[in-house]
Amino acid sequence: MPPADAAANMRTQAEDDYNALYGPPAGEYDPIADPTLPAPAEMPAVYDPWEKLNRRTHAFNNVVDRAIAKPLAKAYVEVTPRPVRLGVSNFFNNLGQPVSALNALLQGKPKQAGQSLGRFVVNSTIGVAGFFDPATKLRIPNKSGEDLGQTLGVWGWKKSRYVELPLFGPRTVRDVFGLVGDGQLSPIRQIEEDKVRVFTQGLQLVDVRTQLLPLDSLREGAADEYALFRDSWLQRRNYQISGDRKQPGEADDGLPDYLRDDEANPTVPADAMPIIPGVGGP
């Protein structure tokens, strides 16, 4: 049956009476083309020319995660009391404050840089090397997520191709340079004793994976897990670079709450980078 006849058969008697009195409408209503409706949300374009290689790396990371990282994180939760786990997370968060302060200063945010340094001083002293968090009770904001990759983005390196690194997960080429730069300043990398340094880095990785356990449910049932990881990571990254620099009244970017929180959604830190002999290490 022709589309016009099908549409005519679907009209009610009231619509036919209206058309008889006032004439038929200029065209059938198309809700997609309705100019009175708001424009659909636009997602930022994904720059992923290395997708084929990235997907293979993602598959490798999944194998490592399911076989090693996730079981270690679950075992850590089972055998370690929650106050101890919280103290470990506080310790690593505190170690990252100086690098975060430096990057905040380079991004033109001196107030945030001062807050990060203030947290570091308070928690390193009163908080017993950062295992406790008296700075929060003193209402010093915790914004420890600033890194060199964000700084390069603020400085103008906006578009950068996506790359997934073995073990380190989602990044862009810009953030790989930032990862290397921040790694040179990492306090953990300054530990000369190999066994102590490797143990500390391993504990930090387990702590990060433990914090990500609540997000595992998001990957279950995903039609394309790689695309889910990539798109959500890039969306969150764009927010980290420009979201907190928007002026009052500017449109919100629609980022889900679970992606806004750096503390609940950490990435593999620069501290965990292996030391290459002759490059900032013994």
Among 90-94, 107-111, 212-216, whose mean pLDDT is lowest?
212-216
Q: What is the mean pLDDT of residues 120-148?
A: 93
The one-letter amino acid at 250: E
Q: How confident is the model at residue 32 (pLDDT cuts 50, 70, 90)?
A: low
What's the confidence (pLDDT) of residue 251? 47
Lowest-pLDDT range, 62-66, 141-145, 156-160, 250-254? 250-254
Question: What pLDDT was estimated at residue 279?
Answer: 41
**pLDDT tens across 227-238, in order?**
999 998 999 898
Mean pLDDT for all residues in the chain: 81
